[in-house]
Amino acid sequence: MDCQDFYGQVVRLEKFRDIADQFIRVRLTRIADVDIHHLEFDFDLTMMIFFLSPDGKIYSRYGGRDSQDADNRQSLAGLRHTMESVLAMHRSKAPQFAERSKENSFYPRDMGIRKKGCVHCHNVKEQQESQLARLGQWNRELVWRFPPPDNVGLILDVDRGNVVKSVSADSPAARVGLQKGDQIRSLHRVPVHSFGDAQFALDCAPAKGSIEVAWERNGKPQRATLELADGWRKTDITWRASQQHRIPSLKLYGDDLSADEKQRLGLKSDQMAFRQKQEVNAHAAQAGFKPGDIIFGVDGAPMNGTMTEFLFFIRRSYLVGDRVQLNVLRDGKRLTIPMTLVP
């Protein structure tokens, strides 16, 4: 038998049969009436694999993605590595499980869903957030659920999902001494076999504070505390179907200035600057923008690049409803124009 891997390549199932036959494999094509709070995962994903004990406890999750594309954090080698790691845990004298964290009881069980039949996963997430809003319990941190381990400086190997590929400089992981080749054993009390486990662990972590990390280096166990600064969860959500209504549009458009034009205006030649076109969007006009205004930064921070790159930066960095201060040149004078971001 043949199947296709995540990248469309035909592979032989026999490559996995030796390890796959050690599991009871179940594929759910319909999950009506299944308790989604037990099988907790990122509802914006296209796939998630759970590894369960005979009594339904969760050993591990395999899946996950980032803003680059749906598959770059997954591979067949990575799946096999997770399966081998789970089997070793299952056979150990004291197996550990990914228990639901008490801090992660974000969502009420009664979400008010009345629709019969199938509900798209991202619609479940939208319904959950709507219910929290009605209860007055929604907060901005819930936008950045399931943050990647990159956010704490851990870049994990795609083919060995609990092995450190690299550590970002001046990150929480770097400050406790984690290194390339270290094998992460647990994060915030969650056993880590895969990238998906690390995401789940960080989803349970506080918006600010500290979490424990345990790892092995050359067979020797080590442990430390990661310090998480305010805003550590924030990451690019533009790919998330459930959050499209929160992604803003700046409503300003025009032509990039040439390097000579920028220098004549006292700007750096590589600095982002564009001239607003003659047609001004109603929302931008209401904020005070006029044809010919030159926009060259936001919130007092000049940026390099083009107008298009700047507009994508706004989409990645802010939410609908945020109020920004845009840096503007008009008739040779520098202005700051506030504007509330809209969809």
- What separation in angstroms does the CA of 314 have from each of 179, 303, 311, 322, 324? 33, 12, 5, 10, 10
Q: In this model, does residue 102 exceed pLDDT 70?
A: no
Confidence (pLDDT) at 99: 80
Q: Where are the domains of the chain?
A: 149-228, 247-340
* Cβ 43 vs Cβ 242: under 8 Å: yes
Confidence class for position 288, pLDDT limits 50, 70, 90: very high
Q: In this model, does residue 305 exceed pLDDT 90?
A: yes
Q: What DSSP designation does 342 have?
A: B
CATH architecture of 149-228: Roll (2.30)
Q: Is 39 helix (H, G, I), strand (E, B) or coil?
A: coil
Confidence (pLDDT) at 193: 98
In whole angstroms, give the CA distance from residue 52 to residue 32.
Answer: 19
Q: In this model, does residue 22 exceed pLDDT 90?
A: yes
The DSSP result for 75-107, as a single string, is -HHHHHHHHHHHHHHHHSSS----PPPGGG--S
Instruction: Please name which of 143, 128, 150 lies closest in space to residue 68, comparing C-alpha atoms.
Output: 150
In whole angstroms, give the CA distance from residue 105 to residue 185.
Answer: 24
Query: pLDDT tens digits, residue range 42-89?
Result: 989 888 899 999 988 999 999 999 998 888 999 989 999 999 999 999
Q: Which residue type sits at 137?
A: Q
Confidence class for position 2, pLDDT limits 50, 70, 90: very low
Instruction: Please name which of 211, 204, 198, 201 lies closest in space to residue 160, comparing C-alpha atoms.
Output: 198
- Is 1 or 298 the better-scoring residue by pLDDT? 298
Count the neighbouring beta carbons within 10 Å of the beta carbon of residue 152: 27
Confidence class for position 276, pLDDT limits 50, 70, 90: very high
Instruction: Please name which of 109, 139, 135 lies closest in space to residue 124, comparing C-alpha atoms.
Output: 109
The DSSP result for 134-201, as a single string, is HTT---GGGGG-S--GGGGTEEE-SSSTTBEEEE-TTSHHHHTT--TT-EEEEETTEE-SSHHHHHHH
Largest CA distance in the chain: 75
Confidence (pLDDT) at 325: 97
Q: In this model, does residue 333 exceed pLDDT 90?
A: yes
Instruction: Please name which of 240, 237, 275, 270 lies closest in space to residue 256, comparing C-alpha atoms.
Output: 275
The DSSP result for 108-149, as a single string, is -S-------S---HHHHHHHHHHHHHHTT---GGGGG-S--G
Confidence class for position 39, pLDDT limits 50, 70, 90: confident
The residue-averaged pLDDT of 200-217 equals 95
Average pLDDT score over the chain = 88
Beta bridge partners of 260: none
Confidence (pLDDT) at 128: 81
Classify each residue of 296-310 as buried b or exposed e, where b means 16 or more C-beta atoms within 10 Å of its C-beta.
Answer: bbbeeeebeeebeeb
In whole angstroms, give the CA distance from residue 292 to residue 276.
Answer: 5
Beta bridge partners of 333: 330
Of all residues in the chain, the percent with pLDDT exceeding 90 is 69
The residue-averaged pLDDT of 177-204 equals 96
Q: In this model, does residue 6 exceed pLDDT 80?
A: no
CATH architecture of 247-340: Roll (2.30)
C-alpha triplet 232, 238, 244: angle, nearest 5°: 115
Confidence class for position 301, pLDDT limits 50, 70, 90: confident
Confidence class for position 225, pLDDT limits 50, 70, 90: very high
Q: How would you list the strands of the sheet with 190-191, edge to edge?
A: 190-191, 183-187, 209-217, 220-228
